[in-house]
Amino acid sequence: MAQPAADACAYAAASGDDGGEMSGRKVALITGITGQVHGIVRRSSSFNTGRIEHLYKNPQAHTEGNMKLHYGDLTDSTCLVKIINEVKPTEIYNLGAQSHVKISFDLAEYTADVDGVGTLRLLDAIKTCGLINSVKFYQASTSELFGKVQEIPQKETTPFYPRSPYGAAKLYAYWIVVNFREAYNLFAVNGILFNHESPRRGANFVTRKISRSVAKIHLGQLECFSLGNLDAKRDWGHARDYVEAMWLMLQTDEPEDFVIATGEVHSVREFVEKSFRHIGKTIVWEGKNENEVGRCKETGKIHVTVNHKYYRPTEVDFLQGDCTKAKQKLNWKPRVTFDVSCLSGLLCTCYVRVSSKGNGGIQEGGKAFEWGHSGTWSCSDNPEPPLL
């Protein structure tokens, strides 16, 4: 499931667009969403709509009956044709994917089938249903396409060099979108999004792992956690900003691909340090390589260790995006910066505040803290100043 999906509906519903080409209707179909607007959710043995449950309870997020959930799978072309033919969307956002880079090395074939060929199945379904001239298609591309970077910073014209099965699968998806755009005149765009985070990020991603672990340490529920490459550097932004960029790409007159990024670069090590600083702890690093540890200066306790199992077989060391084109043509710019409204602080604050209510555990941030209509965080039973 693509991480920003839970934020996508909140933006689409808030935009209030009810006009559209030809029929005057505007309907968004979003894959990998676990339920928003017309959303496709992959069937599983457990009910997996937890990340968007809050949207059903928020009258500002949707009008009753306008959020419809469809079971489907990007590996099943027949179901995709049925859903698209039934919904007849005017916009499609393909966010569905096996999106964990490290896991893609263990599930390489599955990742290729879903992330690569799954995109082709969706495009073919649009063509089969005769919607080439009436639908706009957004493909969730990725900064992992750049992998072993060929220039710094990376922009739309930077050569690709993926370093994982995930990146390679997304590379196929990127070019098949370009092919459908050129061969059939489909309005199809690739959003090459750099890392974008939120409290709804999957718990096995490094940013959420850090923020949740730091919150648990603060609450006395954990003493130490392990990470992989501390020196990997990424361009981190916030999912809400990036979902706005996705929507803007489909509101243009001509389809174009865009890099979406903040232009700022920070290491995993720095993310750890800032997260701990948020709870009043200073991390001091000792040792080298796999023997390196992060020790709390104030207490002397080791809170962070390095474990080789979290390293990728082929690492991506440095990613930094150049979103000049998006700023110029979409009038888009990131509003949540790493330092001013530090992502690590944002994520950590959500979990610490939720868990400090005496419930004895870490809850999903989105269930307790919701985006308000003005774009701020609030909590009904414990009002706080806006975090953003």
Q: What 8-state DSSP symbol labels residue 160?
A: P
Distances (CA, A) of 365 to 51, 95, 202, 292, 350: 9, 21, 11, 31, 6
Least confident piece of the model among 153-167, 188-202, 308-322, 345-359: 345-359
pLDDT over threshold 50, residue 13: no
Task: Catalytic residue, from 11, 93, 166, 174: name it.
Answer: 166
pLDDT of residue 284: 97
Work out the number of other CB atoms within 10 angstroms of the CB of residue 348.
26
Mean pLDDT for the chain overall: 81
Which tens digits make up the pLDDT trace of 214-243? 888 988 999 999 999 999 999 999 888 999
pLDDT of residue 346: 53
Question: Looking at per-residue confidence, does 29 or 337 come out higher?
Answer: 29
Which tens digits make up the pLDDT trace of 169-198? 999 999 999 999 999 999 999 999 999 887
Residue 324 among the catalytic residues: no
Residue 166 among the catalytic residues: yes
Give the confidence band of 14 by pLDDT, cuts at 50, 70, 90.
Answer: very low
Give the confidence band of 287 by pLDDT, cuts at 50, 70, 90.
Answer: very high
pLDDT of residue 32: 83
Percent of the chain predicted with pLDDT > 70: 73
Question: What is the residue-wise DSSP string for 317-368?
Answer: -B--B--HHHHHHT-----S-TTTT-HHHHHHHHHHHHHTTTTSSPPPHHHH
Average pLDDT, integer, range 2-6: 37
Average pLDDT, integer, range 100-112: 94
pLDDT of residue 3: 38
Give the Cα separation of 245 and 173 in Å (integer): 19
Give the confidence band of 362 by pLDDT, cuts at 50, 70, 90.
Answer: very low
Task: Catalytic residue, from 142, 207, 262, 349: name it.
Answer: 142
pLDDT of residue 219: 86
pLDDT of residue 240: 86
pLDDT of residue 320: 97
Task: Catalytic residue, from 144, 244, 364, 370: name it.
Answer: 144
Token pair in block for residue 251: 């509101």
